[in-house]
Amino acid sequence: MKIIKILPFTFLFLFTACAELAQIAQQTLEESQGQSLTRTEIVAGLKEALVVGTNKSVDILGLTDGYYKDEMVKILLPPEADMIVDNVSKIPGGQKLVEDVLLRINRAAEDAVSEAKPIFINSIKSMTITDAIGILRGADNAATQYLHNTTYNQLFALYRPKIKASVDKKLVGNVSTGQSWDLLTGKWNEVANSMVGKVAGFKPVEIDLDEYLTQKALDGLFLKIENQEKLIREDPAARVTDILKRVFGSVNS
């Protein structure tokens, strides 16, 4: 019988190779088992980013002048009122009336925005993000856009009564936003309905202020959340929770 001798270095090579193969196999198994967890973490991280972004945005916009002195989100008069602004000299004290309305509609938005926080948080937590990886590796505002596209109508319907309540509050000088708006449009409509106004082609202004303000207030809030999402994606210091650090840190690595 022929005896095969295995030299020590040959045995060492075989042992090392087997150990490496075992390590690779274990790593592959762990990665395979971790796929669902990774997706779960991604969804949790995206939701957390939106929650953090919403909280910070509401805190910023809810301050005095949060809307009014931020040119990115400041709410202007409805487009239907452009005719009033262009012909404000036709109304006695018209310029002040316009300025009063501008201040009050923004004050109403600032007052109501805190009511948006639980509405947004509930919508975010109930989201099922099926394309989580695509959103994570997408544009800087991908998660915010997903929230906008999937929940806007629901958010609008829930938020509108909050805006209505703030419009009816006497937030500035014991005069509500609604009263200030009615005073401005009432005086303008007198001009528009006069013979001179009809000849000039002026038209009365009659719009639903609550609907307009709800839309503009939400637009401003989404813009702020979008900015916060971008910050979380780009700045590690903005990742204030462990899940944000893990999920968005993986994108930058």
Number of compact structural domains in the chain? 1
Question: CA angle, corner 112, sides to 151 and 205, nearest 5?
Answer: 90
**pLDDT tens-place string over residues 36-88:** 447 889 999 999 999 999 999 999 999 999 999 999 999 999 999 999 999 99
> What whole-number distance in Å separates Cα of residue 76 and Cα of residue 164?
17
Phi first, then psi: give them for residue 175, nearest 5 degrees.
-130, 130
State yes or no: pLDDT of 143 exceeds 90: yes
Q: Per the domain annotation, does 234 fall within a domain?
A: yes
Q: Per the domain annotation, does 137 fall within a domain?
A: yes
Q: Per the domain annotation, does 3 fall within a domain?
A: no
Sign of CA dihedral 110, 112, 118, 124: negative
Q: Per the domain annotation, does 4 fall within a domain?
A: no
Six token digits for residue 111: 């007052």
* Residue 246 CB coordination number (10 Å): 15
> What whole-number distance in Å separates Cα of residue 202 and Cα of residue 217?
29
Q: Per the domain annotation, does 9 fall within a domain?
A: no
Note the pTM of the prediction, 2 decimals.
0.82
Q: Per the domain annotation, does 24 fall within a domain?
A: no
Quote the domain boundaries for residue 78.
42-252
Distances (CA, A) of 133 to 5, 20, 38, 153: 54, 31, 10, 25
